[in-house]
Amino acid sequence: MVKLALFVRLEAKPGKEKDVESFLLSGLPLVQAEPATTAWFGVRLGPSTFGIFDAFPDEDGRQAHLSGEVAAALMEKAGELFAQPPSIEKADVLAAKLPG
């Protein structure tokens, strides 16, 4: 059961859209190694707008993800890839359907 989530909005610098896409694709193997990251999605919301949505069973799982490799890579690449700092929003999951 997932109870908590994060939504991260990312705005690519002009000309960096493919690099942001590649960055998100490279994050998948990292989050697959995080047992408390129940769901993780790297998404494209528009021509230069991207996002990450992930869900967790509890606050410990969310905090482990925030201090994990993907978050570190995100902050390391922020100045190079993004027009503004990533917007990280914490959310409560009210309902979810996940594969069993």
Q: Parse the chain into domains and list their residue ranges.
A: 4-92
At CA 11, angle to CA 8 and CA 12, rounded to 5? 125
pTM (2 d.p.): 0.93
Write down the pLDDT at residue 84. 96
Rounded to the nearest integer, the mean pLDDT of the chain is: 96
Element (H, E) at 76: helix 69-81
Write down the pLDDT at residue 100. 79
Whose tokens are 């690449």? That residue is 77
The mean per-residue pLDDT over the stretch 53-61 comes to 97
Options 3.30.70.100, 3.40.50.10310, 3.40.50.620, 3.40.50.150; which CATH number does 4-92 get?
Answer: 3.30.70.100
Cα–Cα dist 6/65, whole Å: 10
The mean per-residue pLDDT over the stretch 3-29 comes to 97
